């Protein structure tokens, strides 16, 4: 389900991923989150559960507060 929050979260994750020079496969390998899930999240098509969100935050070396701040 597409929501404004999921779109902003996805955009923040994509921005962080690209800043590292990573493709979807690299982020998937570092986080254990499937490529298809990351892609749908970045497009704002899916929301993440807490566990997957935290796995992505750890892989991108940002805390949840840092990710939320990037959404604003």
Domain at 34, CATH number: 1.10.260.40
The pLDDT of residue 4: 78
Residue 5 has what pLDDT? 76
Task: Tell me: pLDDT of 30 over 80.
Answer: yes
- Report the predicted TM-score, pTM, of the whole model to 2 decimal places: 0.88
Summarize the confidence of residues 42-51 as an average pLDDT.
92
**Between 24 and 4, residue with greater pLDDT:** 24
Does 41 score more than 80 pLDDT?
yes
Structural domain including 34 reads 4-71
What integer pLDDT is reported at residue 71 of this predicted model? Answer: 56
Find the angle CA(55)-CA(1)-CA(28) to the nearest 5 degrees. Answer: 25
DSSP 20-65: TT--HHHHHHHH---HHHHHHHHTTS-PPPHHHHHHHHHHTT--HH
- Average pLDDT of every residue of the chain: 91
Q: How many domains does the chain have?
A: 1
């Amino acid at each position: 389900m597409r929501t404004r929050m999921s779109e902003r979260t996805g955009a923040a994750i994509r921005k962080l991923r690209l800043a590292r020079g990573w493709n979807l496969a690299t982020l998937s390998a570092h986080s254990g989150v499937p490529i298809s899930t990351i892609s749908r999240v970045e497009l704002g098509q899916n929301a993440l559960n807490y566990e997957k969100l935290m796995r992505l935050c750890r892989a991108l070396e940002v805390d949840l507060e840092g990710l939320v701040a990037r959404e604003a």
